[in-house]
Amino acid sequence: MAWTQADIDALKRAIKTGARRVEYGSGETKRVVDYRSLAEMKEILADMEDEVAGPLAPQRTAITQFSRD
């Protein structure tokens, strides 16, 4: 399942208010999740943020150029 920024925002709102039930999506894609603990919610939030961020930005490469002048 692909997480979205809206899913992250919904989970953050729940954490902020102390709720353990979170609704994701709308219409046919709507789902409700009951989390067991704040620790579980924070763990899932970290996973969501990692997935949405995608792979790390490419590493920078430095090219050194020499001259015999």
pLDDT digits (tens, 9 = 90+) for 15-57: 999 999 999 988 888 999 999 999 999 999 999 999 998 876 4
**Number of domains present in the structure of the chain:** 1
CA 37 to chain centre: 18
* 60 pLDDT tier (thresholds 50, 70, 90): low
- With respect to residue 63, please indicate whether it lies within any of the assigned structural domains: no
Asked if residue 42 is part of any domain, the answer here is yes
Range of the domain at 37: 5-53
pLDDT of the residue at 67: 75
The yes-or-no verdict on residue 66 having pLDDT over 60 is yes
- Residue 40 inside a domain? The answer is yes
Any domain includes 59: no
What was the pLDDT predicted at 53? 87
Is residue 60 in a domain?
no
Helix (H, G, I), strand (E, B) or coil at 33: strand
pLDDT of residue 61: 63
5 phi/psi in degrees, rounded to 5:
-65, -35
In a domain? residue 34: yes
